């Protein structure tokens, strides 16, 4: 597609439930990143996929967070047993091995 697409745009979930967030990167972009942004804060790095290499998971805040990238394209970020502190905007970005990232509009997650 022309840009990075994220879905859903908004998600409200009950504490303790699992959620899946989806990211469709720009076709041909080999690198994909997940960040999250809490209200009024900067972006917090979560995970980075580069081609067929093992992902850099160093930013995942707990073992409740996981992500996969199937076929080198679509990525899914899964949060298990959601907590209120998980409420944030989750942003996905892709790039073709440069520092020029293209971000999606994000998924706003609210845990109630």
Partner 1 sequence: LAKTTQPISMDSYEGQEVNITCSHNNIATNDYITWYQQFPSQGPRFIIQGYKTKVTNEVASLFIPADRKSSTLSLPRVSLSDTAVYYCLVGDSQAGTALIFGKGTTLSVSS
The residues binding partner 1 (CB under 8 A) are 4, 33, 35, 41-45, 48, 50, 53, 56, 59, 91, 93, 95, 97-106
Complex with partner 1: residue 80 or 105, whichever CB lies closer = 105
Closest of 22, 6, 10 to residue 79, by C-alpha: 22
Sign of CA dihedral 26, 107, 34, 45: positive
CB of 95 to partner 1, least distance (A): 8
What is the rounded CA–CA span in Å between residue 110 and residue 43?
17
CB 15 within 8 A of CB 82: yes
Complex with partner 1: residue 19 or 91, whichever CB lies closer = 91
Complex with partner 1: residue 38 or 78, whichever CB lies closer = 38
CB of 81 to partner 1, least distance (A): 26
């Amino acid at each position: 597609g022309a840009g990075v697409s994220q879905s859903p745009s908004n998600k409200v979930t009950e504490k303790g439930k699992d959620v899946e967030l989806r990211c469709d990167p720009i076709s041909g972009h080999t690198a994909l990143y997940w960040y999250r942004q809490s209200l009024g804060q900067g972006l917090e790095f979560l995970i980075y996929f580069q081609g067929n290499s093992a992902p850099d998971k160093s930013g995942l805040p707990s073992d409740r967070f996981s992500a996969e990238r199937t076929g080198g394209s679509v990525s899914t970020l899964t949060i298990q047993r959601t907590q209120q502190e998980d409420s944030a905007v989750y942003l996905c970005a892709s790039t073709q091995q440069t520092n020029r990232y293209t971000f999606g509009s994000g998924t706003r997650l609210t845990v109630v």
